[in-house]
Structure 1
């Protein structure tokens, strides 16, 4: 096993100056590089030992000390890793899935270096339930599945309505088809090895997504969905797509905290919210729906990968243009049972 370059674009400023990446905040520049450096870099693919790299350097006119100095410089700026992240992926992951996830692994390598494979492996093992408005849910499921979240459950009944169809989601040709069958076809087309079987009641999912009218009373969720370690709200309010909040029991505000905060601002809120129950989601353009799906997908992956997403205990509102117009912070409410000592 040899060293592997982190997959940033390599650009030569001149014959002896090499830049990795183009972002001003993260780009790396190495100067004073000898001729023949490009031949050495070409072998930093994880398949060549240091001895093989030194031999290639010698053929290109570099001494062993010059090659070692180059490798040391790459290590100091975290441009190279001494392990192949792909080796940390599950051994039973199909070859087709490995090929499909190369882009995800490369992106994670830019952030996590040698540990990218561990992060992606954990993502593959996550379990997510997606419930509610299928105009949001199905495209979001395809994003998650294609990004490596292969264990998804999308409870569904009835038949597809034409109003539910959209790009990356249910298709116009699915109209009047059994919704569960149509959803499975769409998601499996994005990730053929995804597992869409219902979760047993004993399973505790990593996340439940609840898509529906913003502020509506909590829907009657299946048992596993209610037990999830975290929950993300996703919906529309007066044309604004709203992503969040993402709540984690015992660590953030909970859905009840959010409703109590809304009632503090408007004492009549409970009466208004009750009228939202069972109502269809407010209209939202295809472009804004897809923007919300992309944002929600990125936030979910950040959470599942162990990061701290912007929607943790907060919600982001997107205008019809796709621009984020507001971020609302939701804090634990002092009157909520989740903040009592007995709930800790």
Structure 2
């Protein structure tokens, strides 16, 4: 807490300005507050993408951050290292590593697997689609598995997962702090050397170590009737509970501010739901075909309601539209 009368120093303002969106924010700070003149020159890395003009202002950077493939790359001045934030395949990462650069988003692709085989290196953060697997080892470093990653993996027999949470009839749940799930291929016979024991789940308690629920995490879990989501959850991915046709009740943590696209699509047994007061957006199809939903109280901060949001909610008898909503899209109800 900042006490009354205290002023931000140079170190504090550098920390704050790291989160600025554009070069204009940096310029306005130095123009508006004289004692912060020279703030840009104190940076030894670029907190925003640069162009020819802004590069001249960040004159002392030594580590150049590349946020997008389309970013202009500079290698002049004192720059001696790069940090790459967009997704790269593993083989490209190895090339960048040889140059002394850092890669923050490494994907294991089909070409990587053909070259480096089935054991996924610990540096890898996500998996692309695979079809010719017979066995695979998934390390704890994996925080994302692309949609349909193991679809049509008809030869996959064995899987090793370092951070296994739970195996249900439809899913393998894994990883912290983001809970992600894998649809179980029909051919899969063993997990971690043991015969796969598929069982229905009708109640699921998410560990408090989890902070995010990945896209499609519980999608198609047709036996799930109730789920307890801890207050540690700050984000729920799109289609997270899509087609959970038996889901009767669910609690949404208070820190959630967006109901993602298709989040509760076709949750046909859901009768009511309490949305947190911080929610500002309801995504496309978020409650479409929730045929048992009778009423919903939309929080006052909501300013956007997506297309088909409540389409085919045939039991809905009461709904309020917040004052911040200026338009209702096509097929909203």
Same fold (TM > 0.5): no
Normalised TM-score (structure 2): 0.25
TM-score normalised by the chain length of structure 1: 0.24
Relative contact order, CA 8 A, sep 6+: which one is greater? Answer: 1
Which one has the bigger strand percentage?
Answer: 2
